[in-house]
Structure 1
Amino acid sequence: RLAEAGRTVLLLEAGGKDQPFNYQVPCFHGNATEDASMRLDHYVRHYMDEDRQEKDPKYLRERDAGRDGVYYPRARTLGGCTAHYAMIIIRPHDSDWQTISDATEDASWAPREMDKYFSRVEHWQHDSAPTAGHGKAAWLPTRFASIIRLGREAITHHDPSIGEIAGDALFAYPKFLPFHFWNRPYFPLTSRWRARVDPNDLRILKRHGTGVILVPMAIDQKGRRAGTRERIEAGKVTGRLEVRMHCHVTELVFDETDPLRVVGVRYLPGERLYRADRDPSVFGQAGPAQEVRAKREVIISAGAYITPQLLMLSGIGPREELQRPEINIPVRVDLPGVGKNLQDRYEVGIVAQAKQVFPLLARATFQCPPEDEKDGDEFFNEWRDKFTGLYATNGAVIGFLARSSVAENDEPDLFIFGVPGAFTGYYTDWSKEAVEPPHDKWTWLLLKAHARFRGQVTLRSNDPLDPPLVDFNYFERDQDGVLTRGAEKDLQAMREGVGIIKRLLRGEQHQLPLHPDCMEGVDLESDEGIDKFVQDRAWGHHASCTCKIGGDDDKDAVLDPSFRVRGVKGLRVVDASVFPRIPGFFVVMPIYMIAEKAADAILTDAN
């Protein structure tokens, strides 16, 4: 966006631009999280208390392999985590923007002001009414999976079973979005039907709608994922955007005459320098340190873990953290909020077992062909030749928005969707096991929006190539070991969400039992069993909020409303870490929106 406005921009990327089939094929997004050419392996703590942490089977797998933490996939590649995200695009809640507007007394963050940035991002590929608020000509293609094509696939394979599961779920939980009979479009009927299941319709958002949805996904007309990388490549056409790969930034450079003005960065050239990988043998050797200076300003977009790490390595952060004896970094600006306020969602997967293998999936491998072969399975070949079929989707079949009894602002806080396969969270090699045959597994996933826990990112060492320590602080407890009020509310919401999924599993005609292996030892019949299941096995993958925007009176505010780092000049942060509260259900669209807003703010100041 800056380059298109006539500015000269240099982008430093620590990874490369590998484009394996795991990147290209939408249905392989799980494989992409562990693709050796793109992955960045963080291992994090949900609980610092070992007795609580070791109740999670995912953690035990890692500990037995000598790794300290639960696997948390990130990406070391151009485009960051949009190289492996599930391409789910959901408009954030109004309260997400109102929170920032209230904290900063800046009306430009008000919800209706932020709507324009959604339209500036989205290219909705279906018909819709103007009042639906969809973008029609922007850069991110979004659409629903083709139900007709998928239905044709099911008929071809004589497989009504997945459709029956979806239909049973709808009859078991017959809730519908508040789309009124007078709402447009009236015709064609297919467009009206889509509008009735569209969670991104602005009218539904304003009505705090709940009910059955189809899941919008960022997949282009050629059946390929769409995201940040594609936007960057389009921006390079201007000739004003230079992208340097394999450049790991290690610290900020300050003006020799003004110790509080950032004028550039230092970086190390080399591949796979950052020590975040399950396989230490892949770490590369760094070339001589380089320095590059900016004419106007430096913008950090390194994510919720590495952005605060880079600030602290440069002397910007909590004094007590920087002055730890093993860290010993001179304090340039004492900003207590750097690395604090870490947030994510709670998510759990409940895996059921179908009566038989899904005929549609019986011959699916969910893998790309070997390097020396052209053909894969029938679904890969269809994707390659026609850009259609099962592999041209993200796998999400049907979803529901729901509101728990402890939801805030009367907004839905539960997102439920169903996928074939077994997804019980992230652990090393999870992506292979999730799609292993027999293909008789079905997972209902539950996400809790606006979770109330607050964690922290701290330095492991003063070596910029060492990943930081990450503690999410799940289900917080007080000094007496009692759940805090916020943790109790989150647990209540998750309990209610699991209750909805139990209704979906019972169905109207076909009951799905829990899978005996994937759900071994899980009790969902009692509140105590559900609470244990959620606390022991929940996970997340939307880390955010570690350099929050806030008002002048907030000592923990790291940024002002224009994304400028407080206490220094010439430095901004624009990434998932800027939010004071984790937004909506899926964080990628809010990040795209704040990036568009940041471009406006930067250009306004430059002009």
Structure 2
Amino acid sequence: MEREGEELAADYVIVGAGSAGCVLANRLTADGKSRVILLEAGGDDRPGKEPGQFTVNLNIHIPVGYASNLKDPRVNWLYRTEPDPETGGREHVWPRGKVLGGSSSINGLLYVRGQRADYDGWRQLGCEGWSADDVAPYFRRSEDRLGGEDAVHGAGGPLHVSDPTTKHPVSVAVIEACRQWGLTHRDINGPEQEGVDWFQLTVKDGRRWSAASAYLNPARKRPNLRIVTHAHAERIVIEGGRAAGVRFRCGGKQQMARARGEVIVCAGSIGSPQLLQLSGVGPSALLTQHGIDVAVDLRGVGENLQDHYVVGEQFRLRRGVPSINAQSRGMALGREILRYLVSRTGLLTLSAAHVAAFTRSREGLAAPDLQFHILPATLDGEALATRGAMELEREPGLTLAVCQLRPESRGWVRIRSASAEDYPAILANYLTDPLDRKTIVAGLKQGRAIAAQPALATLIERETIPGADAADDAALLHFARLAGATIYHPVGTCAMGHGRSAVVDPALRVHGIAGLRVVDASIMPRLTSGNTNAPTIMIAEKASDMILADRRRAAA
């Protein structure tokens, strides 16, 4: 191999400083003995550390800054899917974090664990050690709940979790409307998910509390941790059936990070399968097509892609009803900025949604299969369509956005060439399964039913999107095909399990290659019932214990 730059060495080489990578960097260096190299393709998340992008990095730490950073290529991979057959042949933009903290630095700050049945389902698929009771301690260990410890939540962990500091009056009305419709107001991260509640947020003292803030910053000064930013991994070097290190490019030079113990891939549900495929680990036909030597034929690498497809209904509020639309412009915005500077409260601390509701699309289901993200604001459709700008309308509005929690449709991620610089091809395959189409239509009907409850009916002037013309199931499905989008939860492309399509075993070790693990959302065999950041952090917490246990056994 050509060696242009410095060759590094450590016990563990971690690829990707996203949610999982930050957790592992902290936990694996805590003993002061294990040496870790953390490679991140993006830059530092701290405002003063990246010349030329002070503002974009500042936006990382202001909660509402996600609206800008979700489309900023300086901190965002901005992948684009292939034309999607069941959603009008559209290409979907998939934001993923490209900065320390990964997607936890640009996401909507929503903390949702999912249902017990999600993890018990993993166990039923053969993933020993991943039942709800097995993973619960890792959720608790990670969490620093503002309200303190209880039977479900943890306190004193690295990840600060809080309730909204500002509870908008329209969102209060939304919760009451959901109650009138029949939902219970309960902690959606408790034993039972079905119901309505304020979203819990990864926010501390009015600032985003990303995985970098929670886990990486406390570990930065440890002498056994080396963080390398702007380090784009090109391939895993495999020698004698073992992962020996990672070849990466940094500062225009090709370098090598050697692993005495393990290479741990934490590049996410797009980056992890891409890197494995580039390294000769994946479907043999795909690899040989691009001239890559096959190290191990794993047909599941890049397959089993799942994502939450969200469709938003918008309502015009009556004149005079308060809305975030009005707060986000002019003198009102100036007052909100001042309020944030003084008290770290108000508009700038808000997340991507205020209220979460979990419902069942039909009778007979054992658990909710729909999630609503609800916010007293509406996007300007013309600005989004013509300029890609996430701008709010001037008139007051309310959005009820619904997604199916456990879609049956499956997509894939596949390299286009042998170059790490080329983005992989991504096919989402949204709504290809008939059940998914039926479920999203049921969700849109439920959104209308919630909006019709007395608590909201007095505030709403009319439904603007899709509007009265979408009067039957066919019209609602047509709307869903053309208006839906990702809600940023791709998983499953390096699925955990034992079958022919599994990529990693329950210890997250890649089948057929020694010294190589994948630790991120890509290992989920099935999508969890809700937002995926909290489960990803849990996965890394549990993985850190498994990795350290293996190290102790090897040393004994």
Query: Which of 19, 29, 34 is the aligned partner of 2:66?
Result: 29
Contact 2:175/2:197 (<8 A) preserved: no
1:151-203 CA-to-partner distances (Å, cap 9, x unmatched) read: 6xxxxxxxx6x2574266236423215xxxxxxxxxxxxxxxxxxx31112x3
Partner of 1:98: 120
Tell me: CA distance 1:568–1:475, structure 2 relative to 1, closer, same or farther (3 Å).
same
Contact 1:172/1:506 (<8 A) preserved: no
Within 1, Cα distance between the matches of 2:125 and 2:342? 51
Partner of 2:401: 445
Tell me: CA distance 1:227–1:450, structure 2 relative to 1, closer, same or farther (3 Å).
same
Within 2, Cα distance between the matches of 1:251 and 1:362? 46
Partner of 1:606: 551
1:3-55 CA-to-partner distances (Å, cap 9, x unmatched) read: 113321110000001443321111221212123431221111362x4xx55x3
Partner of 1:484: none
Within 1, Cα distance between the matches of 2:381 and 2:540? 29
Partner of 1:307: 272
User: How many Å apart are 1:435 and its aligned residue?
Assistant: 3.1
Partner of 1:277: none
Tell me: CA distance 1:448–1:5, structure 2 relative to 1, closer, same or farther (3 Å).
farther
Within 2, Cα distance between the matches of 1:416 and 1:88? 13
AA of the residue aligned to 1:243: I
Q: Spell out the pairing of 1:337-348 with structure 2 (5 A cutoff).
A: 337-348=300-311
Within 2, Cα distance between the matches of 1:321 and 1:137? 46
Within 1, Cα distance between the matches of 2:352 and 2:275? 36
- In structure 2, the gaps of 5 or more residues are 1-26, 48-56
Residue 166 of structure 1 pairs with residue 180 of structure 2 = no
SS of residue matched to 1:341? coil
Partner of 1:269: 250
Residue 547 of structure 1 pairs with residue 494 of structure 2 = yes
Q: Which stretch shifts more, 18-27 or 75-84?
A: 18-27
1:465-491 CA-to-partner distances (Å, cap 9, x unmatched) read: 000000011222xxxxxxxxxx22222
Query: Which of 206, 210, 214 is the aligned partner of 1:227?
Result: 210
AA of the residue aligned to 1:33: L
User: How many Å apart are 1:313 and its aligned residue?
Assistant: 0.8
Residue 2 of structure 1 pairs with residue 10 of structure 2 = no
Partner of 2:448: 502
1:515-572 CA-to-partner distances (Å, cap 9, x unmatched) read: 64x647x843201111212233322211110011111xx1111101111111111110
Contact 1:71/1:428 (<8 A) preserved: no
Partner of 1:332: 295
Q: Normalized against structure 2, the TM-score is what?
A: 0.86
Q: Spell out the pairing of 1:44-83 with structure 2 (5 A cutoff).
A: 44-45=81-82, 47=84, 49=85, 52-53=86-87, 55=88, 59=90, 69-83=91-105
Query: Which of 231, 234, 248 is the aligned partner of 2:232?
Result: 248
Query: Which of 16, 21, 30 is the aligned partner of 2:43?
Result: 16
Partner of 2:527: 582
Query: Which of 180, 196, 206 is the aligned partner of 1:212?
Result: 196
Within 2, Cα distance between the matches of 1:329 and 1:229? 34
1:560-603 CA-to-partner distances (Å, cap 9, x unmatched) read: 11111111111100011101111121111111111011101100
AA of the residue aligned to 1:241: L
SS of residue matched to 1:466? coil
AA of the residue aligned to 1:580: P
Contact 1:22/1:29 (<8 A) preserved: yes
Query: Which of 341, 347, 363 is the aligned partner of 1:390?
Result: 347
Q: Percent same amino acid at aligned positions?
A: 27
Contact 1:70/1:426 (<8 A) preserved: no
User: How many Å apart are 1:417 and its aligned residue?
Assistant: 2.8
Partner of 1:399: 356
Residue 43 of structure 1 pairs with residue 80 of structure 2 = yes
Tell me: CA distance 1:78–1:332, structure 2 relative to 1, closer, same or farther (3 Å).
same
AA of the residue aligned to 2:310: E
| Count of aligned pairs | 511
User: How many Å apart are 1:95 and its aligned residue?
Assistant: 2.5
User: How many Å apart are 1:297 and its aligned residue?
Assistant: 0.7
Within 1, Cα distance between the matches of 2:502 and 2:172? 50
Contact 2:123/2:130 (<8 A) preserved: yes
1:403-438 CA-to-partner distances (Å, cap 9, x unmatched) read: 122786x12111113113325999978997443341
Contact 2:79/2:95 (<8 A) preserved: yes
AA of the residue aligned to 1:229: A
Within 1, Cα distance between the matches of 2:312 and 2:493? 26
1:429-479 CA-to-partner distances (Å, cap 9, x unmatched) read: 899744334142221111211111111111111111000000011222xxx
Tell me: CA distance 1:361–1:303, structure 2 relative to 1, closer, same or farther (3 Å).
closer
Partner of 1:491: 437
Query: Which of 461, 472, 491 is the aligned partner of 2:428?
Result: 472
SS of residue matched to 1:264? strand
Within 2, Cα distance between the matches of 1:357 and 1:458? 51
AA of the residue aligned to 2:416: R
Q: Spell out the pairing of 1:121-200 with structure 2 (5 A cutoff).
A: 121-127=142-148, 130-131=150-151, 133-146=152-165, 149-150=166-167, 162=170, 165-166=173-174, 169-170=177-178, 172-177=180-185, 197-200=186-189
Within 1, Cα distance between the matches of 2:145 and 2:439? 32
- In structure 1, the gaps of 5 or more residues are 60-68, 152-159, 178-196, 271-286, 370-374, 477-486
SS of residue matched to 2:513? coil
AA of the residue aligned to 1:346: Y
Partner of 2:473: 527
Q: Normalized against structure 1, the TM-score is what?
A: 0.79
SS of residue matched to 1:213? strand
Tell me: CA distance 1:423–1:414, structure 2 relative to 1, closer, same or farther (3 Å).
farther
Within 1, Cα distance between the matches of 2:382 and 2:267? 22
Contact 2:323/2:376 (<8 A) preserved: no
Partner of 2:537: 592
AA of the residue aligned to 2:141: R
Displaced runs of 4 or more, over 6 A: 424-432
